[in-house]
Every structure is written in C-alpha cells, then in structure tokens.
C-alpha cells in the first residue's frame, strides 16, 4: 500500500465539516437520482436553472447566515424582500423614478430596518425572535399601505435584467441575477473568513460573554449583522422583482423559513459560532433540486417540497446535536 493510500485511509474530516459534507452528499445523490430517473434532468442547464430560480433566496440566505452565526434569528427577511419589491414597483410605475435611483433607495431602506432591529435587540436586550417578528409585521403592513394589489413592472432596466441571458457556452446560460448572487456569496465568504469582523461574528456566536471579555466589539457586530441581513433581504427583493417583473404584497411569504432551512441544511448551527457561506449555497441548491425533482415527477403536489424540507431540517438539526455532544 502506498503512503498516499495510507494517508487517505487515515483521513478523518473535522466534525464541524460533517454537516456541510452531508449537504453536499445529499445534493450529489439527489442530482444522480434525478439524472438516472429523468433523461432531461442530467442536463447542466437544470442546475443553472436552480441558480436562476433561487438567486434571490440565495442572497437572502447569505444575510441570514450572518445573523444565525451570532446565535440570532431574523424572521423579517421575507417581508423586507416583499417591501423592497413593492416600493420598487410603486416608484418605477407610479412615480416615474429611474431604476438607478430606486435600487439604492430600497437597499438603504432594508439596511435601515435591519439596523433598527439590531439596535433594539442589543440595547434593549429583547429576544431576536420577538423583535424580528415585529419587524416582519411592520414590513408586511407597509407593503399593504403601498398597494393591496400586485403591480406589474415594465421598466426597461428591470426587463433587461430579467430577459438578458449570460451565455456560458453551448446552450448553457445564466441570468444577471445569478451573477449578482454569486458576487454577494464571494463577498460574504471573504468577510466571514478573512476579516476581523468575520472572526468577531464567529466569536459572538461561540459565546457573547467570552467575546466581551476578549474586548471584541460585540454591540457593533450584533447591530451590523442585522443591518447586513436587512440589506441582503432588500437586494433579494430587487432580484425577485427582476425575476417576476412584478410586485405583490403577499410576495416572499414563507421566505424566512426557506432561508433558515437553507442555512441549517448547509451546516450552520442555530446556536451560532459554526457555519460556512458555502454550506448556505449548498442548502439553497438542495432545496432547489428537491423542488425540481417533484416538478419532474409531475404526480406529486408541490406541498411535498415542504414535507421533504421539514424532514431534512429534523435530520440536520439532529446531526448537529449529535456532533455537538461528541465534541464535548
């Protein structure tokens, strides 16, 4: 037996990587099953279509990753995304604003909402669940003050972003929204893993009191992660407007649960301190490929997607607990 073979046999991945590896194995297994069962499923465009259909969810889930890494939760992301689409549509269609003015405004609006929730959570010491739940109702209510009906968007910039494919060779292509989402992923990965702020995020999630004793900027970090989540939610809303070319006051309902599910399935621990942006990407792809499999089957109700996601959440949370117990 060669020395390389001995090293490979003795290799054991660190336990904190196991949930990410499990998500990757699930993704590969689901794709292999679909490719074997449905001939068209094996096309590379199927995977790219998952990115196209879930680009906005990926951006929202990246923002949720920052919050969950600190041990918090943000239930407002779906409503903030919907508010972003409604505000964009109203300003574009009814007020006649140009897209280059609307997009920065709605992004700033999402960041300010997240900043405000972060301030309340830290300085008033209120549970994130309660504060972001209030934020969810506030943002959803603001959607209905704009309009109780859906608004179609026919702005040239939004239409171009929705209908202009980016060729990747052959018949493969992605949308501009996918490029934006991947840029967000790259920036988030760099910030979390190669910056002082990212190290502080992990430290706060590992133990807020310990982080304080180490002299870390706990208050600033906690407020910042909710600001980032609000910003990502608003950007997700803009991408959702690109995707649908419309805005609906009921848009994004349940998106907060999808984002949390993607983060958890991707290996980020709900109590904070451990997780990876790459895992979140895998989590979004897992959700997308499950939905695609059910669509290809054609005989199952779309509600089966929720059932499967619920089972997967239970399995991955149980896996996290098992790993945490064995690491003690």
**30-44, 112-126, 173-187, 210-224: range with lowest mean pLDDT:** 30-44
| Per-residue pLDDT reduced to its tens digit, 283-328 | 999 999 999 988 888 777 777 888 888 888 888 888 777 766 665 5
Q: What are the sequence ranges of the domains in the chain?
A: 15-326
The CATH number given to 15-326 is: 1.10.3470
pLDDT confidence of residue 15: 66
Q: How far apart are CA 95 and CA 89, in angstroms?
A: 9
The residues, ordered by sequence, that sit 6+ positions from 30 with a Cβ below 8 Å of its Cβ are 286, 289, 290, 293
Q: How far apart are CA 54 and CA 60, in angstroms?
A: 10
Check if the beta carbon of residue 85 is closer than 8 Å to that of residue 44: no
The residues, ordered by sequence, that sit 6+ positions from 324 with a Cβ below 8 Å of its Cβ are 269
Q: Is residue 85 scored above 90 in pLDDT?
A: yes
Mean pLDDT along residues 135-147: 97
Q: How far apart are CA 107 and CA 48, in angstroms?
A: 26
* 85 or 317, higher pLDDT: 85
Supply the pTM of this predicted model. 0.92
Q: How far apart are CA 71 and CA 97, in angstroms?
A: 39
DSSP assignments along 17-52, one per residue: GHHHHHHHHHHHHHHHHHHHH-GGGGSHHHHHHHHH
Mean pLDDT along residues 64-69: 97
Check if the beta carbon of residue 225 is closer than 8 Å to that of residue 145: no
Q: Is residue 9 scored above 60 in pLDDT?
A: no
DSSP state of 151: E
């Amino acid at each position: 037996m060669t020395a390389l073979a001995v090293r490979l046999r003795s290799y054991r991945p660190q336990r904190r990587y196991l949930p990410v590896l499990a998500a990757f194995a699930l993704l590969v297994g689901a794709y292999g099953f679909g490719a074997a069962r449905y001939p068209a499923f094996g096309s590379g465009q199927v995977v790219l279509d998952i990115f196209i259909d879930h680009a906005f969810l990926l951006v929202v889930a990246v923002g949720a990753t920052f919050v969950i890494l600190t041990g918090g939760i943000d239930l407002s992301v779906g409503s903030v995304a919907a508010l972003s689409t409604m505000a964009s549509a109203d300003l574009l269609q009814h007020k006649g604003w140009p897209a280059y003015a609307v997009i920065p405004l709605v992004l700033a609006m999402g960041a300010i909402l997240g900043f405000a929730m972060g301030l309340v959570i830290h300085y008033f010491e209120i549970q994130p669940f309660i504060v972001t739940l209030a934020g969810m109702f506030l943002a959803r209510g603001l959607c209905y003050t704009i309009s109780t009906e859906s608004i179609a968007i026919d702005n040239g910039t939004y239409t171009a972003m929705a209908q202009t494919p980016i060729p990747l060779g052959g018949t493969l292509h992605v949308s501009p929204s996918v490029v934006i989402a991947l840029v967000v992923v790259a920036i988030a990965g760099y910030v979390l893993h190669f910056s002082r702020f990212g190290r502080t995020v992990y430290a706060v999630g590992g133990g807020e009191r310990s982080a304080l004793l180490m002299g870390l900027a706990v208050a600033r970090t906690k407020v910042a992660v909710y600001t980032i989540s609000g910003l990502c939610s608003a950007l997700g809303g803009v991408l959702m407007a690109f995707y649908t070319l419309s805005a609906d006051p009921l848009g994004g309902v349940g998106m907060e649960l999808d984002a949390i599910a993607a983060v958890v399935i991707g290996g980020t621990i709900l109590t904070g301190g451990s997780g990876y942006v790459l895992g979140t990407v895998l989590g979004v792809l897992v959700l997308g490929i499950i939905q695609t499999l059910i669509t290809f089957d054609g005989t199952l109700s779309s509600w089966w997607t929720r059932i499967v996601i619920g089972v997967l959440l239970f399995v991955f949370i149980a896996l996290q607990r098992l790993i945490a117990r064995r690491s003690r």
